[in-house]
Amino acid sequence: MKAADYKKLKTDLYAKTKDIRQYDKATGNFYKSIVIMSKRADQIAADLKQEFQESSQQYATNADSLEEVFENREQIELSKFYEQLPKPTQLALYEFEHDQVYFQDTDND
């Protein structure tokens, strides 16, 4: 999923109290659910970081003076866009709550 797609999701921008009992339904164990969401948040963060770096390469300059750095409005706007995205943990939580995360239980309990 691209950053623009994450921007369209109706996630909470701030931390919110949740009922933790809803998170053990998919896995049978609350802690397994937390691990799954944590790993998904790491994936999302890595994807967003890579996408940002690729997008910012087109605006990269070999500027030696501070004036040239501050005048790069496109890069500043790009940075603001990524700063306004929901945090990866909130995105992973949203995906888990809406059954959009694929996981496979490898334990032989």
C-beta of residue 83 within 8 angstroms of C-beta of residue 36: no
> Residue ranges per domain, the chain?
1-7+34-102
Ranking 19-23, 37-41, 72-76 by mean pLDDT, the lowest is: 72-76
pLDDT at 61 over 70: no
pLDDT at 43 over 70: yes
> What does pLDDT average to over the chain?
81
- pLDDT grade for 49, boundaries at 50, 70 and 90: very high
CB pairs under 8 A, 24+ apart, for 73-81?
78/52, 81/3, 81/7
